[in-house]
Structure 1
Amino acid sequence: MTDRTRIASLRAQEEELFAELHPRSAELAEQARGPLLAGVPMPWMTRWPGRFPLFFESASGARLTDVDGVEYVDLCLGDTGAMTGHALPQVTEALTARASRGITTMLPSADAIWVGEELARRFGLPSWQLAMSATDANRFVLRFARHLTGRPRIAVMDWCYHGTVDETLAVLDPSTGSGQAGRVVPRPGALGPQVDVAETTAVVPFNDLDALDRRLAVGDVACLLMEPALTNIGIVLPEPGYLEGVREVTRRHGVLLVNDETHTLCAGPGGATVAWGLDPDMVVVGKPIGGGIPCAAYGLSAELAERLSGPMLGHEIDVAGVGGTLTGNALALAAIRATLSTCLREEDFAVAVPLAEGFAAGVAGVIADHGLPWHVQRLGCRAEYWFCPPPRDGAAAAAAVDEELEGLLHLWCLNRGVLLTPFHNMALFSPHHTVADVDRHTEVFGQAVAALTSGT
């Protein structure tokens, strides 16, 4: 299975097939090299498989069509941004109606009240504010935490991901061990950190309560920002009792607990916070709630909202490092209202979660048939396969990444009409997917594994 020559040979064949299938994308990619840095609007778009980026033409429901007319079963869904499915009619109608009456005025719209009430109902936290992205929302709650506690540092999980927040792009240096002994260093790939992250951030391994307890006991951490399950280094699930332990440890040390539910919203309408009965001080939720329109929100407990009521009404709040002129604009609020009133409901997860279960079962069957030491993990309507047994923390997950094998499998699926998220091996399901979509991936995945293991 680790025959690198075989992997390279199959990858070369798939690269040729990719080029044959996508001549128009190749032309556009060549044109883009001049005006666009790295040839794409955002650098991470270079992470897709293939020798050049695909350019898309349209997307609807669970399907995406590229400029060469090739249609895909979309298991990426905008890396959660289109978790509801693409081109929702209700969102289109709401955006059209709102845009014709003005988009941004620096004044609240009536939709803002509905959105705040709905988020409170879903997540159980009473007070909410809007942001343009989960990155912004995370930046804002970190400021609140430092203000409220008077402490300088924040804590995150090793190999976490919370957008492009400077303080969160930190890991434990694997050469120095883990837990209290681990040295905090910039995450590999982080460009130009503004300060030494060891000065701003404490990092602890996921699923390690002892390490968390030791680090928070130092007394300099304002808040722990975490996903209830790691997702951006692959799905790493919490061990039994771990999240309850996190809440006890943070409370004992006076550290605020922030759940970032941007990806773990896949666990249900109120994310893992509600699905698992968690009790955070703050919650952040990002891209899924707007049906594809850039937006995010963050909620606070009644106690924190009361403690912040004075500063939030201060004369200089516009320079407090919290806000943005276009944040909370009427277009985004209309999109959130249209999305949350018709999507991401219990009945939607009742369709999407069984599809993810079917995906996991299909992948597990292929793995078992070929006797591979691989594993498939699932979180709600999200599933992902590993080329190893399930890791228990981020460092183990990062060490298990096999970019050559991953790249081949992604390209193999892409060439056969199945689009996976470019990072790791993640598939996300919406109510627009079907059992036939699941079966198609199982078939394609099985063909790839057979080609790898048989040498034919």
Structure 2
Amino acid sequence: MTASGISSSAVEIFTARERARFLQQNPQSVALAERARQSLFGGVPMHWMADWSTPCPLFVERAKGARFYDVDGHEYIDFCLGDTGSMFGHSPDPIAKAIAEQANNGLTTMLPGEDAVVAGELLAERFGLPYWQVTATATDSNRYVLRWARGITRRNVLLVFDGCYHGTVDDVMVRCHDGQTRPRSGLIGQAYDLTQHSRSIPFNDVAALEAALAQGDVAALLCEPAMTNIGMVMPEPGFMARCRELTRKYGTLLIIDETHTISTDIGGCTRLWNLDPDFFVVGKPIAGGVPCGIFGCSAAMAEAMQQARQRASQNSHGHGHSGMGTTLSANALAMHCMRANLEQVMTQAAYDHMLPLARRLADGFRSLIGKHDLQWSVTELGARSEFQFCAVPPKTGAQAEAAFHDELQMALHLYLINRGILITPFHNMTLCCPSTTAEDVDKLISMLDQAITELLAIPGARE
């Protein structure tokens, strides 16, 4: 018997049946997968695209709203939504219009336009920080903010929570094991010791937080207000307030990364929970699915950034380089789409539609868990919810990871895919968008109920 309450042998039988079904009903994806192996490493344009539950990649033809269509003509209700990249639906009409408008007016020039000014004003109004910069991705935003934090504080150490997600910034690729910081497993080509300037501690552990900060060498605490990648982990009451209090006490900057948690509220957890960060980061959905990232800062940080620039200039010989920015950062297309997204897509009306549906979905998950007498739990945050293979919602990244059952998770995902429903891979997270309907939510619950019923009907499933 596994921690999930379902035997591995039953999962194996269930998975084999679903893999055969997928291969039978997706001949065009199978053919494209074979063709792709001749030119794409691993048969996909990015290696993790092959890490889904399907026996070969599922090739998409088009996507719109809360649905996408594969090359075999199947329609899917999408609760993954590009893992938040399309949080407001695929190709919202205002974004499609903005792309068309900008297509003949220049895509990138290395110069600002009026869109940049309007977007900055909208960001300041929405998130409460006065000054903004635009990048190509949230990874870039986190990397650049970390440079600013080190330049401002003249400290080198970054503090993160165990199991965090901040893109592919080198400095965050650490975990906490038995109270010690260790490099994250599976890293390829890591040339230097990440533990020299990065420190990892458990989420929701105030004592560990203060002990790490009290060493006096931490430039910044970079954190999600709720963890979303190791499995969803909510902050204990008062924990984020303590993060703000203790970072101030020990001269450490607080960076809030809301690339996923922006699903909580139109102003993110930052406005909803009054987090008062020094720096604020969002990526993926900010331009309606067009690659773009942003970071904002307080007035005090803006002044400190100017001082850091002056110090760096004094120490340079000839032309300097901040180590930040790419030529495609804040390109004209991204700026026009971000303006349209903030004005017309990422609206209060959108959240008013998404949030009740996510609650309906979370309640449906809980009902299924009770119906089937499973020791599982549900975590929800705004438009996002997740069912987890543990009786009580996890409080740390380690607890969330301990609840993983990769084979069961992938079996359930594959069952849903075979019946026209997609949820986020690697864990059981779902996201509702403005195009999601109550009928879509009810279908997911119905299909998951059917999957669990069939799985539990396999002899020995509950042994």
TM-score, shorter chain, exceeding 0.5: yes
Match of 1:291 among 277, 281, 288: 288
2:415 paired residue number: 412
Distance change >3 Å, CA 4–CA 144, structure 1 → 2: same
Matches within 5 A, 1:23-422: 23-173=27-177, 177=178, 182-310=179-307, 319-388=321-390, 389-422=392-425
Give the secondary structure class of the aligned counterpart of 2:14: helix
Letter in 2 for 1:47: D
Q: CA deviation at 1:193?
A: 1.8
Paired residues, number: 449
Q: CA deviation at 1:10?
A: 0.5
Letter in 2 for 1:124: G
Q: CA deviation at 1:337?
A: 0.6
Letter in 2 for 1:171: R
Q: What is the CA deviation profile of residues 20-46 of structure 1, one whole-angstrom value per residue up to 9, with x for unaligned ones?
A: 111000000001112111111111111
Q: Percent identity?
A: 47
Give the secondary structure class of the aligned counterpart of 1:35: coil
Letter in 2 for 1:296: G
TM-score (norm 2): 0.95
- Which whole-Å CA distance do the structure 1 matches of 2:336 and 2:206 have between them? 41
- Which whole-Å CA distance do the structure 2 matches of 1:6 and 1:220 have between them? 51
Matched, 1:454 2:453: no
- Which whole-Å CA distance do the structure 1 matches of 2:65 and 2:186 have between them? 34
- Which whole-Å CA distance do the structure 2 matches of 1:157 and 1:384 have between them? 20
Distance change >3 Å, CA 300–CA 68, structure 1 → 2: same
Q: CA deviation at 1:454?
A: 2.5
Match of 2:442 among 434, 439, 444: 439
Give the secondary structure class of the aligned counterpart of 2:285: helix
Give the secondary structure class of the aligned counterpart of 2:346: coil
Q: What is the CA deviation profile of residues 36-87 of structure 1, one whole-angstrom value per residue up to 9, with x for unaligned ones?
A: 1111111111121111000100000000000000000000000000001011
Say if 2:94 and 2:345, in contact at 8 Å, map to a contact too: no
Distance change >3 Å, CA 317–CA 45, structure 1 → 2: farther
Q: CA deviation at 1:309?
A: 2.5
Give the secondary structure class of the aligned counterpart of 2:256: strand
Q: CA deviation at 1:183?
A: 1.8
Q: What is the CA deviation profile of residues 377-421 of structure 1, one whole-angstrom value per residue up to 9, with x for unaligned ones?
A: 100000100010211000111111100110101001111111011
- Which whole-Å CA distance do the structure 2 matches of 1:62 and 1:423 have between them? 20
- Which whole-Å CA distance do the structure 2 matches of 1:375 and 1:357 have between them? 14
- Name stretches of at least 5 consecutive residues in structure 2 with no aligned partner: none
Say if 1:184 and 1:197, in contact at 8 Å, map to a contact too: no
- Which whole-Å CA distance do the structure 2 matches of 1:202 and 1:186 have between them? 10
- Which whole-Å CA distance do the structure 1 matches of 2:303 and 2:255 have between them? 17
Distance change >3 Å, CA 317–CA 183, structure 1 → 2: farther
TM-score (norm 1): 0.96
- Which whole-Å CA distance do the structure 1 matches of 2:125 and 2:231 have between them? 29
- Which whole-Å CA distance do the structure 1 matches of 2:221 and 2:14 have between them? 44
Say if 2:152 and 2:308, in contact at 8 Å, map to a contact too: no
Q: CA deviation at 1:450?
A: 0.9
Q: CA deviation at 1:317?
A: 8.0
Q: CA deviation at 1:423?
A: 2.0
Q: CA deviation at 1:448?
A: 1.1
Give the secondary structure class of the aligned counterpart of 1:385: strand
Letter in 2 for 1:203: S
- Name stretches of at least 5 consecutive residues in structure 1 with no aligned partner: none
Q: CA deviation at 1:311?
A: 5.0
Q: What is the CA deviation profile of residues 214-252 of structure 1, one whole-angstrom value per residue up to 9, with x for unaligned ones?
A: 011011110000000000111100011111111111110
Q: What is the CA deviation profile of residues 159-186 of structure 1, one whole-angstrom value per residue up to 9, with x for unaligned ones?
A: 101000000011012xxx2xxxx22111
Q: What is the CA deviation profile of residues 337-377 of structure 1, one whole-angstrom value per residue up to 9, with x for unaligned ones?
A: 11111122221111001111011111110100111110111
Deviates further, 302-311 or 94-103:
302-311
Tell me how large the CA RMSD over aligned residues is. 1.3
Give the secondary structure class of the aligned counterpart of 1:410: helix
Letter in 2 for 1:241: G
- Which whole-Å CA distance do the structure 1 matches of 2:163 and 2:192 have between them? 19
Asked which structure has the greater RCO (Cα within 8 Å, sep 6+), the reply is 2
Say if 1:76 and 1:419, in contact at 8 Å, map to a contact too: yes
Moved runs in structure 1, 4+ residues, more than 4 A?
310-318
Q: CA deviation at 1:2?
A: 2.4
Give the secondary structure class of the aligned counterpart of 1:87: coil
- Which whole-Å CA distance do the structure 1 matches of 2:410 and 2:97 have between them? 39
- Which whole-Å CA distance do the structure 2 matches of 1:89 and 1:243 have between them? 37
